[in-house]
């Protein structure tokens, strides 16, 4: 059982003889940093209170005075909500990936270096988690939890950790009979020491590059969970929750839905491009499937 729905694209192979220009990595990286800064500086940047609506100003068109992107069904400023929404949306995307990177590396190394029982036990558990379409597993886990950013982070960590573990395990397998590991063993280094000093530095670049390519997906899933009412709940400003709240006015005032939809799309594309650039730099085009 090697399938998962985590749709990690194999990077488009660079044309032979051409190196990826430095800008191909720098531009998306700079934009991603900028995005995080916007989220951090939300109180300074947002023109309005994201939660303060006024019934007189409901569903104003983009470009209205004082509301450059218009207002939503409750008269709240859409631009301010998008800026404030970056906080939970990015948290829901970045934190689970960080958790998965750390936990996945540890579990992958444990499976690769541990005994047969550890290895088989971990791999069979992964198989079960892999047997769920990613979103369905997130739904199943998040249903148990109280709605909120914590539910998003926890359920997406459960979905992403097996995927990263698989990549880390594959990398450990590749090097586990290498001579320098043998040398370390012979010279009396303990398992933990070998794992931390010899194995981790070797697999880290690949695992981190791979994990970074999951960020876009995690952001999409995080907003999706909020859309389903399982993540961040309205009235909090969050991109997915904004989508859900926009539905009553969808057929008359579609931009209220289209603006957060395009924001999520753009951020997802940004992180996909960044993740791919990182993976090419590290030199792995392979999938974890």
Which spans of this chain sit near other proteins (rule: CB under 8 A)? 1, 3, 5, 7, 9-10, 12-13, 15-16, 124-125, 127-129, 131-137, 139-141, 143-144, 146, 216, 220, 223-224, 227-230, 240, 243, 246-247, 250-252, 254-255, 257-258, 261-262, 264-265, 268-269, 271-273, 276, 289
Q: Identify which of residues 117 and 251 has a Cβ nearer to other proteins in the complex.
A: 251
Instruction: Round to whole Å and give the CA distance between 26 and 219.
Output: 21
Give 40 or 265: the residue with its C-beta nearer to other proteins: 265
Beta carbon of residue 41, minimum distance to other proteins (angstroms, whole number): 25
Shortest distance in whole angstroms from residue 130 CB to other proteins: 8
Contact (CB, 8 A) for 150 and 92: no
CB of residue 194 to other proteins, shortest distance in Å = 31
Q: How far is the CB of 195 from other proteins (least distance, A)?
A: 27
Nearer to other proteins, 146 or 179 (CB): 146
CB neighbour class for 284 (10 Å; exposed up to 12, middle 13-18, buried from 19): buried
Q: Which residues pair with 71 in a beta bridge?
A: 77
Q: How far is the CB of 267 from other proteins (least distance, A)?
A: 9
Q: Are 242 and 255 in contact (CB under 8 A)?
A: no
What does the H/E/C string look like for 162-228? HHHHHHHHHHHHHHCCCHHHHHHHHCCCCHHHHHHHHHHHHHHHHHHHHHHCCHHHHHHHHHHHHHC
Of 150 and 176, the one with the shorter C-beta distance to other proteins is 150
Token pair for 134: 């990613």
């Amino acid at each position: 059982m090697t399938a998962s729905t985590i749709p990690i694209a194999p990077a488009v192979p660079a044309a032979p003889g051409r190196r990826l220009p430095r800008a191909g990595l720098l531009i998306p990286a700079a934009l991603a940093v900028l995005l995080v800064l916007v989220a951090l500086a939300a109180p300074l940047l947002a023109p309005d209170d994201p939660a303060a609506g006024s019934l007189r100003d409901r569903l104003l068109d983009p470009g209205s005075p004082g509301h450059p992107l218009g207002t939503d069904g409750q008269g709240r400023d859409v631009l301010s909500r998008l800026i404030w929404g970056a906080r939970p949306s990015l948290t829901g995307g970045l934190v689970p990936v960080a958790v998965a990177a750390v936990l996945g590396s540890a579990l992958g190394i444990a499976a690769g270096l541990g005994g047969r029982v550890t290895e088989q036990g971990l791999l069979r558990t992964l198989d079960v988690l892999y047997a769920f379409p990613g979103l369905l597993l997130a739904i199943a886990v998040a249903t148990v939890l109280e709605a909120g950013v914590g539910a998003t982070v926890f359920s997406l960590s459960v979905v992403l950790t097996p995927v990263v573990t698989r990549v880390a395990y594959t990398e450990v397998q590749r090097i586990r009979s290498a001579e320098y590991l043998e040398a370390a063993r012979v010279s009396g280094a303990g398992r933990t020491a070998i794992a931390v000093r010899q194995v981790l530095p070797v697999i880290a670049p690949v695992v981190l590059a791979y994990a970074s390519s999951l960020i876009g997906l995690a952001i999409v899933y995080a907003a999706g969970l909020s859309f389903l009412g399982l993540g961040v709940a309205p009235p909090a400003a969050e991109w997915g929750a904004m989508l859900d709240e926009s539905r009553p006015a969808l057929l008359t005032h579609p931009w209220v839905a289209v603006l957060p939809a395009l924001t999520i799309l753009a951020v997802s594309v940004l992180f996909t491009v960044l993740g791919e650039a990182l993976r090419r730099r590290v030199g792995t085009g392979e999938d974890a499937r």
